[in-house]
Amino acid sequence: MAAQNLPGTVGTITNGQPDPNAVLDVQELRVHYETPGGAVIAVNGVSFKVRRGETMGLVGESGCGKTTAAMAVLHMVQPPGRIVGGHIFINGTDIVPLSEAELREFRWRQAALIPQGAMNSLNPVMKVRDQIGDGIETHEGKQPKDVLKRRILDLFGTVGLSSRVYDLYPHELSGGMKQRVCIAMAIALNPPLVIADEPTSALDVVVQRIIAQTLLEVKARLNVSMILIGHDMGLQAQLVDRIAVMYAGNMAEIAPVKSAFAEPMHPYTQLLIASIPSIKHKKPLKVTEGLTHDLRNPPPGCMFQLRCPRAMDVCRQVRPPLRELKPDHQVACHLYA
Amino acid sequence: MRGLTKEYVIRRLFMYVLTIWLGSTLIFLIPRLVPGDPIAAMVTRMQQQAGYVENSAEIIAAWRARFGLDAPLSIQYLRFLRNSVTLDLGYSLTQFPTKVTEQISKSLPWTIGLLALATVISFILGNTIGALMAWRRTPRAVKSLLPLSLTFTSVPFFMLGILLLYVFAFGLKWFPVGGGYGRGVTMGLNLEFIGSALYHAVLPALAIIISSMGFWALGMRGMMITTAGEDYMVLADAKALTPARIFWGYGVRNSILPQVTALALALGGIVGGAVLVEYIFSYPGMGYLLYQGIVNNDYTIIQGVVFILILTTATAVLILDLLYPFVDPRISYQRR
């Protein structure tokens, strides 16, 4: 599928060639969920990059396709979903056309996942050590027991788990400890890219901060690149270098985190930031009017037109392309045409 | 020991004894609630056959005394309890001089051999088929063929037994028509006997396996579908573990837990024998013994078989309860 023929094409950013400076270069990614009522367009020609050593935040409301996009990066979209177009370059290799066997070589070694529900992401009938160990041994072959043990205990040290956890089962751990186990698992093979899918959403606020801190430390120590999916704008502000805002399967804005919060350009980003509660000014919660359109049948023009407070005539006809309006700050909106 | 406490084990053993006591008390009481008694029934039968039996009242009294049926109920009960503890199950009524325990000890090995083997094979096959039916990576061709293997589940197994007999024993003459071992083979631990016993067990075992496989497969399929939606399955995929490891270590290992409970109950129940299968194949097991006991009104045999059944079911459940913390580490009997 030629990227140039699709609506929402970004032009200069995507050319089917990987960017050598990016660990991850997603170009014109399209993911559809096939349903009896037609294809649900979950990711609609999305492009973004993650640079070496960088943390990129991927935000948007529930159902906007951020998790689908991230799972696509691992080529793990759950059926009936599938990648119908685009390129995903990880360290220069396009993984979209790879076979199942080739993908097994690449997953976990090149891109690891810190899952959304750490509470249920560990196999309840296996000891923690075996679950970290099987990931390592699948990719690196059988290892002497003491070598493996030292390695797992090292990982525990990195993520701040006591060595006591080595012999425990998942149900004997707290939520925060389970999340740390998941982080330890993800960095076991030293992958260049880690995808953290709402790693703190199931935890209470205090533990959230501690886990976030752990993530930052791990990232700094190992110099991995990270995608941090979430909808907590406050957490994102503290953790990420750049932020990408998705709406209904489309990329609305990609910007360095400072400028995204200081001068958000897309009306949706502005609404997201305005909706962060503040204790100083009690303000009515800014709820965006209206609902998202039916994802099976997107309207022509901008995806956000139905809820946008500043929608114009052109928004109902032409899909705004993602354009770089300031250095490193890309927006898809007709307001700045 | 994981999840087990001394207190729990003691409590559990007490429950075990209590279950057996209650069960055996029931099998003591129920026949005695029925009007008449087996001796009178036997003499009546003799009268029907011979037309007239001399001194029938005296015969009845003498036999009653012999079987201890003349004592008051409480004394009978105490004797019964003492005999149960020493596993003395009395004499067979129809084959008088033989003891019930003797009959049972002759039948029990056959039944345990046939049914334990058949149940375990059926458990393994059924669960594998069920798990494969629910597994996303199962090749489409295999997936569409698997349900065919379960069609015979809807055929009652005695019908299936007759069908197997007709085709493989009567028609093709591949297997013997019945019995536990070949004629002229001496019983004992020699290859000839074991081979003959296995050869005779093929058809009855097949009947049981084919007809009970679906039970395991359907349960497993449902569990496996539930497990497939778990977060740890997604993470196992992301870790790029081999499909075999995800299937067995993550999918089946978690889905099998409720099936293990059912297996323990099934294994506990097997000493009752598969009455109809054993009857059709004239297999010398507990089911056949029970069938003959029922047909001949042999109360002591029936009582003995049921007693052994209670004993093994309770034992199987006891073993399961004590082993379960090792099967599922989340189960713990410790009070927290």
The DSSP annotation for A162-212 comes to -GGGGG--GGGS-HHHHHHHHHHHHTTT--SEEEEESTTTTS-HHHHHHHH
Res. A58 pLDDT band, cuts 50 70 90 = very high
**Subunit contact B254:A74, Cβ cutoff 8 A:** no
Task: Say yes or no: domain A3-110+191-336 is CATH 3.40.50.300.
Answer: yes
Pick from A109, A134, A182: CB nearest B241: A134
Q: Best mutation site among A75, A95, A110, A121 for testing chain B: the one with the most B CBs within 10 Å? A: A121
Task: Say yes or no: domain B100-296 is CATH 3.40.470.10.
Answer: no
**Subunit contact A123:B232, Cβ cutoff 8 A:** yes
Res. A11 pLDDT band, cuts 50 70 90 = very low
DSSP per-residue letters across A205-270: HHHHHHHHHHHHHHHHHHT-EEEEEES-HHHHHHH-SEEEEEETTEEEEEEEHHHHHHS--SHHHH
Q: Over the stretch A19-51, which tens digit does the pLDDT of each residue have? A: 888 899 999 999 999 989 888 889 988 999 999
Residues 274-293 of A with CB under 8 A from B: none
Per-domain residue ranges for chain B?
Answer: 100-296
Residues of B at the A interface (Cβ-Cβ below 8 Å)?
136, 230-232, 234-242, 245, 249-250, 253-254, 257, 328-330
**Subunit contact B240:A138, Cβ cutoff 8 A:** yes
Stated as kind and residue range, the H or E segment containing A89 is: strand A81-90
Per-residue HEC secondary structure of chain B comes to CCCCCHHHHHHHHHHHHHHHHHHHHHHHHHHHHCCCCHHHHHHHHHHHHHCCCCCHHHHHHHHHHHHCCCCCHHHHHHHHHHHHHCCCCCECCCCCCCEHHHHHHHHHHHHHHHHHHHHHHHHHHHHHHHHHHHCCCCCHHHHHHHHHHHHHHHCCHHHHHHHHHHHHHHHCCCCCCCCCCCCCCCCCCCHHHHHHHHHHHHHHHHHHHHHHHHHHHHHHHHHHHHHHCCHHHHHHHHCCCCHHHHHHHHHHHHHCHHHHHHHHHHHHHHHHCCHHHHHHCCCCCHHHHHHHHHHCCCHHHHHHHHHHHHHHHHHHHHHHHHHHHHHCCCCCCCCC
How far A120 CA sits from the closest chain B CA (Å)?
6
Kindly list the residues from chain A whose CB atom is less than 8 angstroms away from the CB atom of residue B328.
124-125
Which percentage of chain A shows pLDDT scores above 70?
A: 93
Pick from A270-284, A304-318, B66-80: least confident: A270-284
Q: For residues B89 and B233, which has the higher predicted lDDT (pLDDT)?
A: B233
pLDDT at position B131 is 93
For residue B329, cis peptide bond before it (omega within 30 degrees of 0)? no
Res. A1 pLDDT band, cuts 50 70 90 = very low
Please determine, for residue A170, whether its predicted confidence score (pLDDT) is greater than 80: yes
**Subunit contact B239:A105, Cβ cutoff 8 A:** no
How far A284 CA sits from the closest chain B CA (Å)?
37
**CA of residue A160 relative to chain centroid, distance:** 24
Asked if residue A297 lies in contact with residue A280, where contact means CB atoms within 8 angstroms, the answer is: no
How far B227 CA sits from the closest chain A CA (Å)?
10
Asked if residue B88 lies in contact with residue B290, where contact means CB atoms within 8 angstroms, the answer is: no
Burial class of residue B1, CB neighbours in 10 A (0-12, 13-18, 19+): exposed
**Subunit contact B235:A115, Cβ cutoff 8 A:** yes
Q: Which residue in chain B is spatially nearest to A80 when comparing CA positions?
A: B136
pLDDT at position A290 is 62
**Subunit contact B240:A109, Cβ cutoff 8 A:** yes
Stated as kind and residue range, the H or E segment containing A134 is: helix A128-140
Asked if residue B179 lies in contact with residue B201, where contact means CB atoms within 8 angstroms, the answer is: no
Asked if residue A191 lies in contact with residue A108, where contact means CB atoms within 8 angstroms, the answer is: yes
Specify the residue for token string 């407070």: A309
Q: Which residue in chain B is spatially nearest to A126 when comparing CA positions?
A: B329
Residues 180-219 of A with CB under 8 A from B: 182, 185
Please determine, for residue B225, whether its predicted confidence score (pLDDT) is greater than 90: yes
Which pTM was predicted?
0.81
**Subunit contact B239:A171, Cβ cutoff 8 A:** no
Q: Over the stretch A71-107, which tens digit does the pLDDT of each residue have? A: 999 998 888 899 998 999 998 889 999 888 889 888 9
Query: How crowded is residue B33: how many other Cβ atoms within 10 Å of its Cβ?
Result: 6
Please determine, for residue A289, whether its predicted confidence score (pLDDT) is greater than 70: no
pLDDT at position A301 is 85
Q: What does the alpha-carbon distance between residue B270 and residue B87 come to, in Å, rounded to a whole number?
A: 19
Which percentage of chain B shows pLDDT scores above 70?
A: 96
Res. B16 pLDDT band, cuts 50 70 90 = very high
Res. A117 pLDDT band, cuts 50 70 90 = confident
Tokens of A168: 């425990």
Q: What does the alpha-carbon distance between residue B248 and residue A77 come to, in Å, rounded to a whole number?
A: 22
- Sheet of A193-197: strand order equals A111-114, A193-197, A225-230, A55-59, A242-247, A250-256, A329-331, A323-326
Tell which residue, B273, B277, B274, B260, has the closest CA to residue B316.
B260
pLDDT at position B186 is 72
Res. A4 pLDDT band, cuts 50 70 90 = very low
pLDDT at position B83 is 84
Q: What does the alpha-carbon distance between residue A17 and residue A23 come to, in Å, rounded to a whole number?
A: 13
Q: What does the alpha-carbon distance between residue B50 and residue A160 come to, in Å, rounded to a whole number?
A: 91
Rg (CA), chain A: 20
Tell me the C-alpha to C-alpha distance, in Å, between residue B122 and each of A192, B84, B195: 47, 33, 21
Q: Over the stretch B166-200, which tens digit does the pLDDT of each residue have? A: 888 888 888 887 777 777 777 777 777 788 888 88
Q: Which residue in chain A is spatially nearest to B326 when comparing CA positions?
A: A125
Tell which residue, A64, A1, A5, has the closest CA to residue A295.
A64
Q: What does the alpha-carbon distance between residue A322 and residue A103 come to, in Å, rounded to a whole number?
A: 30
Kindly list the residues from chain B whose CB atom is less than 8 angstroms away from the CB atom of residue A139.
240
How far B126 CA sits from the closest chain A CA (Å)?
22
**Subunit contact A117:B231, Cβ cutoff 8 A:** yes
**CA of residue A150 relative to chain centroid, distance:** 31
Stated as kind and residue range, the H or E segment containing A71 is: helix A66-73
Q: Over the stretch A118-141, which tens digit does the pLDDT of each residue have? A: 788 999 999 999 999 999 999 998
Pick from A108, A139, A169: CB nearest B329: A169
Beta-carbon contacts of B70 under 8 Å, excluding residues fewer than 6 positions away, are: B61, B64
B17-24's contacts with Cβ under 8 Å and 24+ in sequence apart are: B19/B310, B19/B314, B20/B310, B20/B311, B20/B314, B23/B307, B23/B310, B23/B314, B24/B80, B24/B81, B24/B84, B24/B307, B24/B310
Please determine, for residue A69, whether its predicted confidence score (pLDDT) is greater than 70: yes
How far A138 CA sits from the closest chain B CA (Å)?
6
What are the residues facing A227 on neighbouring strands?
Answer: A56, A195
Tell which residue, A90, A111, A108, has the closest CA to residue A20.
A90
Stated as kind and residue range, the H or E segment containing A32 is: strand A22-35
Stated as kind and residue range, the H or E segment containing A105 is: helix A100-106
Please determine, for residue B34, whether its predicted confidence score (pLDDT) is greater than 60: yes
pLDDT at position A284 is 65
pLDDT at position B142 is 84
Please determine, for residue B124, whether its predicted confidence score (pLDDT) is greater than 90: yes
CB-defined contacts A:B, below 8 A: 76
Mean pLDDT taken over chain A: 85
**Subunit contact B240:A124, Cβ cutoff 8 A:** no
Asked if residue A56 lies in contact with residue A241, where contact means CB atoms within 8 angstroms, the answer is: yes
Q: Rounded mean pLDDT of B313-328?
A: 87
Q: Is A74 on the interface with B (CB under 8 A)?
A: yes
- Residue A189's identity, in one-letter code, is L
Res. A12 pLDDT band, cuts 50 70 90 = very low
Pick from B240, B250, B257: CB nearest A108: B240
Per-domain residue ranges for chain A?
Answer: 3-110+191-336
Please determine, for residue A14, whether its predicted confidence score (pLDDT) is greater than 70: no
How far B317 CA sits from the closest chain A CA (Å)?
21
Res. A327 pLDDT band, cuts 50 70 90 = confident
β-strands A242-247, A22-35 pairing: unpaired
Please determine, for residue B114, whether its predicted confidence score (pLDDT) is greater than 90: no
Query: How crowded is residue B36: how many other Cβ atoms within 10 Å of its Cβ?
Result: 8
Kindly list the residues from chain A whose CB atom is less than 8 angstroms away from the CB atom of residue B254.
123-125
Q: Over the stretch B238-258, which tens digit does the pLDDT of each residue have? A: 998 999 999 999 999 999 999
- Sheet of A22-35: strand order equals A38-51, A22-35, A81-90, A93-94
**Subunit contact B328:A138, Cβ cutoff 8 A:** no
Asked if residue B290 lies in contact with residue B273, where contact means CB atoms within 8 angstroms, the answer is: yes
pLDDT at position A199 is 86
Asked if residue A29 lies in contact with residue A65, where contact means CB atoms within 8 angstroms, the answer is: no
How far B127 CA sits from the closest chain A CA (Å)?
18
Q: Over the stretch B55-90, which tens digit does the pLDDT of each residue have? A: 777 877 887 787 777 788 888 888 888 888 888 777
